[in-house]
Amino acid sequence: MSHAPTVNSLSNIYSLNVEAQSKRYAQLESRFAEIYGAKPDFIARAPGRVNVIGEHIDYCGFPVFPMAIAPDTLIAVRTNNTDCIQIANASPKYPARKFSLADLFTIDSTVHEWSNYFKCGYRGLFEHVGRTGGKGFDALLDGTVPAGGGLSSSAAFVCATELAVQRVNGIDLPQTELALIAASAERYVGVNSGGMDQTASIMGQQGSALFIEFDPELKATLVKMPDADPPLAFIIANTLVVSDKH
């Protein structure tokens, strides 16, 4: 079974604007050091997705055909040797939060609170492995997936959280397992998730779409985009209309 990869070069993630992404990562590390007094140990990443074929049928177990996109959620992380987790957001729109490890299992879905998605990823992972908590850490999030834009910003947030939390705590689950956990966990905030978004975010690869099947079990098959001159391009138009889940 495939596990979440670790990469040391941004060119293994992004096919375009690698220099701009490099500056973004450097700015994230610098801002993290300003807030917490030291650089992060690592940065977890999960992308958004766009769907090509199969809209709103994953809930019923039918196959879908999405692909991961360059806009993503990054979470810079450093263990802090406490029993608390501090999470800040690069956007001033979202206030920083601090939680005890026990607090992370309480999610009020009636409150539209950005950190609830972090709690979803944390709680879903630990409930799955049968643990009640792990190590404390400091985190700083930076997201470029438009919130409420239909590109799965919430799934990217939950998946990035899973990847961050499992690394801090020495957990290493297969990608298919992480995708299923994330799909279930997002329901803690009332999102009727079928699993397409999370699977695309966890298992998507550069230059390929994913044919995702759910029956009899989750299976994702990479479908490489055909070579063409000029290269194929998918245009995603942002209408700037926000679809708020709450």
Catalytic residues: 197
Does the bond joining 226 to the residue before it have cis omega, within 30 degrees of 0? no
User: DSSP string covering 114-135, please?
Assistant: THHHHHHHHHHHHHHHT-S---
Residue 246, amino acid = H
Contacts of 223 (CB under 8 A, 6+ apart): 65, 208, 209, 210, 211
- Nearest CA among 189, 196, 183, 111 for reference residue 151: 196
Do 204 and 151 touch, CB atoms closer than 8 A? no
Give the span between the Cα atoms of 57 and 241, in whole angstroms.
23
Question: Tokens 């998730």 map to which residue?
Answer: 193
Residue 140 and residue 89 in contact, taking contact as beta carbons nearer than 8 Å = yes
